[in-house]
């Protein structure tokens, strides 16, 4: 079977992306073969393309999540069968028409869930849950850059845990943050004073999705002295108090969010879909850093 794979042989802007047709090897016994229907585009994909992150060298493939239909299972498989509709995670290879995925990563697609929704939940669900679990018990939380993918889910998971959330975004996304359950504050000059106005007491903790110096300074100023301050942005920070956090894959955490979205208890926004053939346009949009919810490639 052939797969059309999005690849880049060099680092650079979206025009380094190319489509390569590859004959897939025979299926590994620990994997299933999936025809991809939709795949989320995450900032990490675009940042690997530019060379800001250089994990595995060149040429490189992309994509950390997907939803699709199983087209082949290993002999004797009892977990899944051909035709099953699934979603899950993959380490930098899901932007391709057909992918081989470790069996342990899969979750059934809820029947009524649209493909772009199903294909965009794995990264944000597992990242937001990891970070909240690592922060431990909280009553109040400050989230910087919360109208994007991880922030949208983090707000709702935190609210589910009874946490009061104050979240930042640009003016155009403040109403959206309120709909998700947060007290919304615009980022930009005067942020610390605005945070104090809406939440005079110090926060128990903060999460930074934006990676800006402004977010660092606001966290230092507005979180209590022994409160944890974390960043997921993967950017250099000016204070040793800000600790990096990285996603840990956990199928139960993913299933929790998938069910909540399927049952309408949690809101999820796919703000743009791009045909796979237009992947360069999609990466350009994601590099801009102002996605509401998530963007998806559709196949």
Ligand X SMILES: NC(=O)c1ccc[n+]([C@@H]2O[C@H](COP(=O)([O-])OP(=O)(O)OC[C@H]3O[C@@H](n4cnc5c(N)ncnc54)[C@H](OP(=O)(O)O)[C@@H]3O)[C@@H](O)[C@H]2O)c1
Strand order in the sheet with 183-186: 183-186, 164-169, 140-144, 205-208, 229-231, 242-244
For ligand X, the binding residue among 68, 88, 119, 148 (CB under 6 A) is 148
- Please tell me the distance from the alpha carbon of residue 224 to that of residue 111, in angstroms, as a whole number: 45
Residue 252 has a CB neighbour count (10 Å cut-off) of 9
Return the number of the residue (98 or 233) whose C-beta is nearest ligand X.
Answer: 233
Query: Which of 187, 268, 276, 283 is close enough to bind ligand X by CB under 6 A?
Result: 187
The DSSP output letter for 51 is: T
Determine, following the binding rule CB under 6 A, whether residue 216 of this chain makes contact with ligand X: no
**Considering the complex, what minimum distance in angstroms separates the CB of residue 232 from ligand X?**
4
Residue nearest to ligand X (CB): 148
Judged by CB under 6 A, the stretch of 55-63, 87-95, 217-225, 287-295 that binds ligand X is: 287-295
Residue with smaller CB distance to ligand X, 73 or 261? 261
Backbone angles phi, psi at 69, to 5 degrees: -115, 130
**SS3 category, 108:** strand
In angstroms, the CA 27 to CA 75 distance is 10
Select 38 or 150, whichever has its Cβ closest to ligand X.
150
Q: Does 146 bind ligand X (CB under 6 A)?
A: yes
* Using rule CB under 6 A, residue 212 touches ligand X: yes
Residue 156 found at the interface with ligand X (CB under 6 A) = no
How would you write 111-167 as a 3-class SS string? CCCCHHHHCCCHHHHHHHHHHHHHHCCCCEEEEECCCCHHHHHHHHHHHHCCCEEEE
For ligand X, the binding residues in 85-124 under the rule CB under 6 A are: 123
Q: Which stretch binds ligand X (CB under 6 A): 18-26, 55-63, 81-89, 138-146?
A: 138-146
Of the candidate spans 6-14, 65-73, 203-211, 256-264, the one that interacts with ligand X by CB under 6 A turns out to be: 203-211
CB distance 6 to 277 below 8 Å: no
Rule CB under 6 A: say whether 253 interacts with ligand X. Answer: no
Q: What does the DSSP assignment read for 242-275?
A: EEE------HHHHHHHHHHHHTTSS---EEEEEE
d(CA 87, CA 104) in angstroms, rounded, equals 11
Least separation in angstroms between CB 258 and ligand X:
17
Nearer to ligand X, 17 or 98 (CB): 17
Binding of ligand X at residue 182 (CB under 6 A)? no
Q: Which residues lie near ligand X (CB under 6 A)? A: 42-44, 47, 123, 127, 144-151, 168-170, 173, 187, 209-212, 215, 232-234, 245-247, 289-291
């Amino acid at each position: 079977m052939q797969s059309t794979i999005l690849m880049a042989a060099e680092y650079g802007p979206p025009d380094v992306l190319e489509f390569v047709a590859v004959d897939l090897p025979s299926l590994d016994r620990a994997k299933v073969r999936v025809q991809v229907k939709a795949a989320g585009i995450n900032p990490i994909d675009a940042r690997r393309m530019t060379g800001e992150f250089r994990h595995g060298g060149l040429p490189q493939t992309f994509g950390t999540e997907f939803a699709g239909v199983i087209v082949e299972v290993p002999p004797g498989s009892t977990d899944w069968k051909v035709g099953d509709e699934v979603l899950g995670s993959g380490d930098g290879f899901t932007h391709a028409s057909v992918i081989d995925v470790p069996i342990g990563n899969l979750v059934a697609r809820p029947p009524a869930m649209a493909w772009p929704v199903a294909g965009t939940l794995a990264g944000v669900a597992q990242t937001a849950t990891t970070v909240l679990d690592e922060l431990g018990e909280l009553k109040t939380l400050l989230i910087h850059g919360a109208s994007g993918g991880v922030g949208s889910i983090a707000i709702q998971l935190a609210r589910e845990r009874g946490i009061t959330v104050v979240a930042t975004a640009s003016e155009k996304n403040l109403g959206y943050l309120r709909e998700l359950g947060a007290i919304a504050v615009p980022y930009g000059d005067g942020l610390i004073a605005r945070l104090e106005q809406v939440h005079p007491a110090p926060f128990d903790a903060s999460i930074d999705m934006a990676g800006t110096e402004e977010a660092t300074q606001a966290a230092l100023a507005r979180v209590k002295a022994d409160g944890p301050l974390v960043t997921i942005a993967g950017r250099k920070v000016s204070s040793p108090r800000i600790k990096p956090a990285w996603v840990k894959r956990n199928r139960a955490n993913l299933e929790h969010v998938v069910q909540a979205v399927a049952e309408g208890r949690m809101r999820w926004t796919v703000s743009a879909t791009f045909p796979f053939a237009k992947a360069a346009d999609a990466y350009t949009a994601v590099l801009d850093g102002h996605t509401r919810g998530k963007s998806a490639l559709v196949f």
